[in-house]
C-alpha cells in the first residue's frame, strides 16, 4: 500500500513539474514556457501580460538577427573600443583601465557587442529607408537642446585620495565619514588643463555628486563636484556629428518600433496555455 502511495506521489510531482515547464506560447515555432514567463515577471516586477509581450518581442528580435545572419566577433568589439578611446582623446590602455575602475569590463564588452548587433540589424532592416538628417535638422536640434552642449570652463571639486579603495567607497555611501586613511583637498580645475581621463570623469558627472573611483599615481582617487563655473555652449561645428548621430538614432528607434509592431501582428503566435 505504501509503495502504491509513493508511486502516486511521485507521478503527481512529475506531472506538476511538467506543467510548470510546459510550453505556454510559441512564436514562429519558438517556445515560451511558463517558467520563462514567471522568471520575467519576477525579474522585472511586472504583470503576466507585460512579461509575455516582452518575451515575444525578444524572440522576434532574435529571429530577425538570425534571419539577417548578423554576427559580431571580438575584433568588432575591440575596434569599437578603440574608437571610443579616440573620441575621448585617450589611448586604448588608459581608456580600458578607466572603464574597469567604473564597471565590470566583461559586462561593458557584452553591452558593446549587443549595441553593434543592434546597429547591424538596423542597417539590414532600415537601410536606405530613413530620411537622412539635413544641416537644417542639425541646426534646429542644436538650438532646441542647448543644455546638452554646455561645458564648464572651471570646476570646483573636493579631491579625495586613499591607498584603500574601500575607504572611498564607504565615504561615497556616508559623506560625513571621517577617516585618517583619506586625504582631501579643495581645488578649482581648469578644463583646458585637464588630462583626458580627468576631463572624461568630470564632464560625465553631475554637480553635488561623487564621481567614480579611479586609480592614479598608485592611489585611489575620487572627486566631489561642488560647482561647475563659467558655463559655455560648445560651437555647432564641434558637435554637429554628435547631433547627426542623435537624430538618426531617434529615427532608427521609431522605424524599428513600427517594424516590430507589424512583425508581431504578422507572426505565427500561438497561445497554448
What is the model's pLDDT at position 64? 93
CA distance 30 to 58: 11
Q: Which of the pair, 260 or 103, is modelled with greater confidence? A: 260
- pLDDT tens column, 153-167: 999 999 999 999 899
Contacts of 247 (CB under 8 A, 6+ apart): 133, 137, 138, 141
Q: Which of the pair, 4 or 103, is modelled with greater confidence? A: 103
- pLDDT tens column, 50-101: 999 999 999 999 999 999 999 999 999 999 999 988 887 788 888 888 888 7
Contacts of 34 (CB under 8 A, 6+ apart): 19, 20, 21, 22, 24, 273
Instruction: Give the predicted TM-score (pTM) of the model.
Output: 0.67
Where do we find the cell 570652463? 153
| CB-facing half-sphere around the CA of 2: CA atoms within 13 A | 0
Q: Helix and strand tally (H, E) in the chain?
A: 10, 7
Q: Which three cell numbers stand for residue 183?
A: 586625504
Residue range 33-37: mean pLDDT, rounded: 90
CA distance 19 to 146: 56
| pLDDT classification of 13: cutoffs 50, 70, 90 | very low
What is the model's pLDDT at position 12? 43
Distances (CA, A) of 122 to 64, 145, 257, 258, 270: 10, 25, 11, 12, 27
Q: What percent of the chain has pLDDT over 90?
A: 55
Contacts of 114 (CB under 8 A, 6+ apart): none
CA distance 55 to 143: 39
Contacts of 147 (CB under 8 A, 6+ apart): none
Q: What percent of the chain has pLDDT over 70?
A: 92
Work out the burial of residue 52: count CB atoms within 10 Å of its CB; fewer than 13 is exposed, 13-18 middle, 19 or more buried: buried
Residue range 161-185: mean pLDDT, rounded: 91
**In this structure, is the dihedral angle defined by the CA atoms of residues 206, 208, 209 and 215, taken in order, positive or negative?**
positive
- pLDDT tens column, 231-255: 989 899 999 999 999 999 899 889 9
Dihedral-angle region of residue 140 (phi above 0 means left; psi in -120 to 50 means alpha; beta otherwise): alpha
Residue 151 scores a pLDDT above 80:
yes
What is the arrangement of strands in the sheet containing 182-190, beginning at the earlier edge strand?
182-190, 150-162, 219-233, 214-216
Which residues sit opposite 118 in a β-bridge? Answer: none
| pLDDT classification of 203: cutoffs 50, 70, 90 | confident
Amino acid at each position: 500500500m505504501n509503495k502504491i502511495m509513493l508511486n502516486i506521489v511521485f507521478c503527481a510531482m512529475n506531472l506538476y513539474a511538467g506543467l510548470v515547464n510546459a510550453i505556454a506560447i510559441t512564436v514562429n515555432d519558438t517556445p515560451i514556457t511558463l517558467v520563462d514567463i514567471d522568471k520575467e515577471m519576477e525579474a522585472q516586477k511586472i504583470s503576466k501580460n507585460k512579461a509575455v509581450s516582452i518575451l515575444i518581442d525578444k524572440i522576434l528580435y532574435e529571429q530577425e538577427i538570425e534571419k539577417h545572419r548578423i554576427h559580431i566577433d571580438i575584433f568588432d568589439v575591440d575596434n569599437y573600443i578603440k574608437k571610443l578611446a579616440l573620441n575621448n582623446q585617450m589611448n586604448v590602455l588608459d581608456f580600458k583601465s578607466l572603464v574597469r575602475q567604473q564597471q565590470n569590463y566583461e559586462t561593458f564588452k557584452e553591452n558593446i557587442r549587443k549595441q553593434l548587433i543592434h546597429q547591424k540589424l538596423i542597417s539590414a532592416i532600415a537601410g536606405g529607408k530613413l530620411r537622412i538628417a539635413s544641416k537644417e535638422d542639425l541646426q534646429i536640434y542644436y538650438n532646441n537642446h542647448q543644455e546638452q552642449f554646455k561645458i564648464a570652463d572651471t570646476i570646483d571639486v573636493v579631491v579625495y585620495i586613499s591607498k584603500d579603495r574601500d575607504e572611498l567607497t564607504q565615504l561615497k555611501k556616508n559623506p560625513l565619514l571621517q577617516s585618517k586613511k583619506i586625504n582631501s583637498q579643495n581645488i578649482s580645475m581648469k578644463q583646458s588643463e585637464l588630462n583626458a581621463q580627468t576631463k572624461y570623469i568630470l564632464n560625465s558627472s553631475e554637480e553635488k555628486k561623487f564621481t567614480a573611483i579611479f586609480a592614479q599615481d598608485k592611489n585611489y582617487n575620487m572627486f566631489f563636484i561642488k560647482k561647475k563655473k563659467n558655463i559655455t555652449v560648445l560651437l555647432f561645428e564641434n558637435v554637429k556629428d554628435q547631433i547627426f548621430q542623435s537624430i538618426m538614432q531617434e529615427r532608427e528607434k521609431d522605424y524599428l518600433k513600427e517594424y516590430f509592431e507589424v512583425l508581431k501582428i504578422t507572426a505565427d503566435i500561438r497561445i497554448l496555455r
